[in-house]
Structure 1
């Protein structure tokens, strides 16, 4: 399963590196990349002005048709604002919110997220 992610401070990128799974990072300078395969999106929590490049990526060509779900990182101290970017994307693109973690994730988060990914992968005979 392909992971697509956006990172601002590097926290999300550190989480992705711990997963050791195929991943593509959305580049703010050029978010217009066509993915052409099912993916899970992982995003940090920031105001829309910062994360607008994620929407640019999703709206590019047929990318959003391959979006299976979204995971979000954030800081639980923000209470109801925790992972609001991921929640907004899940609502706006009508996909499930699959996972939430704090900062760059714990080892338990890594294992739990890998389980979520494996459950979404197509079964091979």
Structure 2
């Protein structure tokens, strides 16, 4: 399963790199990319104006039909706003929230993420 992500500060990219899974990074210059396989999104927590790129990607062509789940990264110091972007995406697109992790995630976060993706692939 492909991992699609957006990273502004590099924290999300570092998490995705630890996964050793096929991935695609959405950037400001390429949100309108058609994906033809199932994918999960890893979303950082930023203002909605910044993360609209993920909505553009998900809603482009038939990408939404391949979206299987969302994971979110952030900083727990933001309290209720911790991983709000990922939670919003999961709710908006009616897909499961897979995991929440802080900063670039721990080895345990990586393990949990891979387990969740494996569960999706085999169910």
For Structure 1 versus Structure 2, the TM-score category normalised by the shorter chain is over 0.9
Match of 1:106 in 2: 106
- For the residue of structure 1 that corresponds to 2:95, the secondary structure is coil
TM-score with structure 1 length normalisation?
Answer: 0.95
* SS state at 1:31 partner: coil
Q: Which residue of 2 aligns with 1:62?
A: 62
What's 1:17 paired with? Answer: 17
User: Equivalent residue for 1:47?
Assistant: 47
Task: Give the unaligned 5+ runs of structure 1.
Answer: none
Q: Which range moves more in the overlay, 11-20 or 112-121?
A: 112-121
Q: CA shift at 1:37, angstroms?
A: 0.8
Q: Which runs of 5+ in 2 are unaligned?
A: none
Which residue of structure 1 aligns with residue 33 of structure 2? 33
Report the Cα distance in structure 1 between the residues aligned to 2:111 and 2:90, rounded to whole angstroms. 22
Matched residues in 1 for 2:6 and 2:65: separation?
Answer: 18
Deviation at 1:122, TM superposition (A): 3.4
> 1:111 Cα shift?
1.1
The separation in 2 between residues aligned to 1:69 and 1:35, in whole angstroms, is 15
Q: Which runs of 4+ in 1 moved over 4 A?
A: none
RMSD between superposed Cα atoms in Å: 1.0
Distance of 1:27 and 1:89 partners within structure 2? 17
